[in-house]
Chain A
């Protein structure tokens, strides 16, 4: 059972435009969400996170939006750059000292073309 879903396996965006990557989750206990970026044959790198007490978190060109009622989050990249071309994973966890797992989605491959 996939608790974190990224239903779009790929996305193609023109340089300078906005990239919107989506993520849905099914577990209502999830309270903490992260986005990672991954290049081929490398480990993922952390991009941005958000906890459920917020509905938006911004860091430079990256903004994550959280809609708890819809169990949906999205990552916006503005403006998109060719170097943003990578696979993006969303991950989720439940708050609490005994929750040790990060559950990952299947990833969305973003391609930014000139």
Chain B
């Protein structure tokens, strides 16, 4: 079945460490790609999105993601994390092949130790 996969379920790292969260999808054709973040006790917020153009997308709070079409990937990165980045991160995809329904990966819980 077509899907969105996030390889890491839990990530623990120290402040100032670099973060990279993997996301792969299996849809062909035109896709839109998103990363959402959910801070503890809060609702989903959009971090960044890719529709077209430059495959390196910059979002809020120093996050960026790179769309690699040949690898069906949209990995999220941040060079130096802060304690306040502790949250759950969700990759999501809309694909014309799937009727433009927004499909989420399983999420990655990130804990940044001070």
- Whether A and B are associated in the same complex: the answer reads no
Which A residues contact B (CB, under 8 angstroms)? none
Which B residues contact A (CB, under 8 angstroms)? none
